[in-house]
Amino acid sequence: MYDREKRLAEWVRKKANLNLIKNDCEYFIEHYVHIEDRDSEELAVLFHLWDGQKKALQDFINERLNIVLKARQLGLTWLTLAYAVWCMMFKPGYMVVALSKKDDDAKELVRRVSFILRYMPESIKPIINATTSQVTILHKDGEPSTFKSFTAAPDSGRSFTANLVILDEWAFQQWARDIWTAAYPTINRPTGGKLIGLSTIERGSLFEDIWTASKTGDNTFNRIFLGWNTDPRRTKEWYEQTKKDLGDSTLAEYPETEEEAFLVPGGAYFTEYKQSIHIKSVEFEKTHSRFYIALDYGRDMLAAGLFEIDRYGYARQKGEVHKSGLLVSDAAEELRTLTAGKTIYSYLAPKDMWNLSNQTGKSNAEVFQANGIYLSQVIPGSREQGAYMLAEHLKPITVKDEQTGEEYETALLTFDEDICKETTRCLQNIQKDKNKQNEYANQPHNLTHAVDMLVYFVAGRPRAPIVEVKKKHTNWMFESKEERSDLDIW
């Protein structure tokens, strides 16, 4: 009788504990999940959560779309995988898909999931099947749950339907925009579908765009920021030593605030650009102006701008095209739409548009011409020279209003408000080349095309229209013929 009561009490205790870990992910992780700790005597240690990790975990549970901007080595990848294991163990048929930048990184995520399950206590350890690319948990009642890990590729998002998608080092995935376009419909279900995107910052990335848009309410992502001091073991002394050792990269790798995270090493190339100076709502004088188109074209991107130059030589970008995957005929149609109703003085394009194609035997310039667009070749010199010319056009200058006499700041090149968002986004985010500080970076390509287009515009040396101002003839008395000839009378 005593043994029966003892077994019953043990059964009740185990049942209560199972219900607890099934309904409390934080309790499950801190009592049953082991992670690697290379600094401890034992390799596998229980995952003791810091306050910042606990808050992030609750967001994983409660929010559908999470974007995590973090400092290095804060255990967020382990936390995300522990959350994924919890879902897989207690939700039969649960599918987790992880995407990483490189093949080795994808395999590392699978290895960590296997590590967590291998060190699970025997009382709840599930039966698993594991390979280098996936881990499957077998359930007695219900479909198996699976964790799959892929290397990020343009078509990765179309190959799965998942309950949870994990994007590791999201900002550094080359095909992030293509993947997101394809992957979002797979988790955009009324009944479920979650995403967790983790990364340090990379300027000009999709990750940055989504983070920024979430701040203004333009998407439904939940932002999570974790600075270097999320780890309570890190002291001010530790941080100061890190700055000495790592230098300028400290801000990107170990930011303390969200603002610091965006102050990446090297910094923005075109520091002359200021929204308050270069974004304009005031119209140009319409009676005396000249229109130009500048473009950078490839199948990966058409970046084109419509520019108006007034009689004083000030240029304003008044329209843009920023589209990928266009054939030349489609690109020509986009330019016709952009220039509707306007006489274009010149279409400025880089010299590689005149390179012959091995497939067609024609250059892109010839195909554009066949579609009614006659290009003018621009040779900006070196990449450094082109960047210098653009910087000169962006340099703030002080001018005086002819009518009021008030002084204000402007530049030789400005942009119409709300019309040139892609161009100004690229201009603002393009960074210095890490190896050539006098040049702007040639990566990521989603930023370079629009900036190259601006370089071709200024390198094309667009001219202001010639305006003849007729003066009334007045009889003057001159002391000599030389004095008369020195005056320019129209």
pLDDT digits (tens, 9 = 90+) for 281-340: 867 656 778 999 999 998 889 999 999 998 888 999 999 999 998 999 999 999 999 999
Whether residue 53 lies inside any domain: the answer is yes
- What letters, b where the CB count within 10 A reaches 16 and e where it falls short, cover 284-320? beeeebbbbbbbbbeeebbbbbbbbbbbeebbbbbbb
Same domain assignment for residues 205 and 347: no
Least confident of 214-223, 441-450, 469-478: 469-478
Tokens representing residue 461 in the block: 């040396």
The 3 state secondary structure assigned to 217-254 is: CCCCCEEEEECHHHCCCCCHHHHHHHHHHHHHHHHHHC
Same domain assignment for residues 251 and 291: no
Q: What are phi and psi of 123, to 5 degrees?
A: -65, -25
What is the average pLDDT score of the chain? 86
Whether residue 473 lies inside any domain: the answer is no
**Is the previous residue joined to 121 through a cis bond, with omega within 30 degrees of 0?**
no
Least confident of 131-145, 270-284, 350-364: 270-284
Same domain assignment for residues 196 and 231: yes
Same domain assignment for residues 247 and 285: no
What CATH number has the domain bearing residue 227? 3.40.50.300
Q: What is the pLDDT of residues 428-467, one digit of tens each?
A: 888 888 788 788 988 778 889 999 999 999 999 888 887 6
**How far is the C-alpha of 2 from the C-alpha of 4, rounded, in Å?**
5
Same domain assignment for residues 351 and 426: yes
What is the reported pLDDT for 474?
44
**How far is the C-alpha of 179 from the C-alpha of 137, rounded, in Å?**
27
DSSP state of 421: H
Residue whose C-alpha is closest to residue 73's, from 124, 39, 22, 122: 39
Q: Are 310 and 464 in contact (CB under 8 A)?
A: yes
- In what helix (H) or strand (E) does residue 295 lie, and over which residues does it extend? strand 289-298
Residue whose C-alpha is closest to residue 457's, from 302, 296, 280, 297: 296
- Please enumerate in sequence order all residues whose Cβ is within 8 A of that of 304, keeping only pairs 6 or more positions apart, or say none: 293, 294, 295, 296, 297, 320, 321, 322, 331, 334, 335, 338, 453
What CATH number has the domain bearing residue 322? 3.30.420.280
**How far is the C-alpha of 72 from the C-alpha of 78, rounded, in Å?**
13
Q: Are 312 and 339 in contact (CB under 8 A)?
A: no
What is the reported pLDDT for 4?
64
Residues in the chain: 490
Query: Which of 200, 228, 261 is the C-terminal boundary of a domain?
Result: 261
Q: Are 172 and 202 in contact (CB under 8 A)?
A: yes
Mean pLDDT for 179-208 is 84
Whether residue 467 lies inside any domain: the answer is no
**How far is the C-alpha of 481 from the C-alpha of 1, rounded, in Å?**
135
DSSP state of 384: H
Same domain assignment for residues 222 and 291: no
- The confidence band for 468, taking pLDDT boundaries of 50, 70 and 90, is low
Side-by-side strand order, sheet with 127-130 = 127-130, 134-138, 145-151, 95-100, 164-167, 194-199, 65-70, 222-226
Same domain assignment for residues 236 and 314: no
Q: What are phi and psi of 489, to 5 degrees?
A: -105, 120
Q: In terms of C-beta density within 10 A (0-12 exposed, 13-18 middle, 19 or more buried), how is residue 50 classed?
A: middle
Whether residue 14 lies inside any domain: the answer is no
Same domain assignment for residues 236 and 317: no
What is the reported pLDDT for 188?
82
Q: Are 266 and 436 in contact (CB under 8 A)?
A: no
**How far is the C-alpha of 181 from the C-alpha of 206, rounded, in Å?**
11
- Note the pTM of the prediction, 2 decimals: 0.60
**How far is the C-alpha of 288 from the C-alpha of 447, rounded, in Å?**
33
The count of structural domains within the chain is 2
Query: Which of 200, 233, 261 is the C-terminal boundary of a domain?
Result: 261
The residue assigned the tokens 């930011």 is: 255
Mean pLDDT for 393-421 is 89
- The confidence band for 187, taking pLDDT boundaries of 50, 70 and 90, is confident
Q: Where are the alpha helices (DSSP H) in 46-198?
A: 51-62, 76-90, 103-118, 176-187
Residue whose C-alpha is closest to residue 293's, from 360, 334, 348, 249: 348
Same domain assignment for residues 294 and 388: yes
Mean pLDDT for 16-45 is 88
Same domain assignment for residues 281 and 255: no
- Structural domain span for residue 372: 275-459
Q: Which residue has the higher pLDDT, 435 or 485?
A: 435
CA atoms within 13 A on the CB side of 198: 23
- Please enumerate in sequence order all residues whose Cβ is within 8 A of that of 51, keeping only pairs 6 or more positions apart, or say none: 230, 232
What is the reported pLDDT for 35?
94
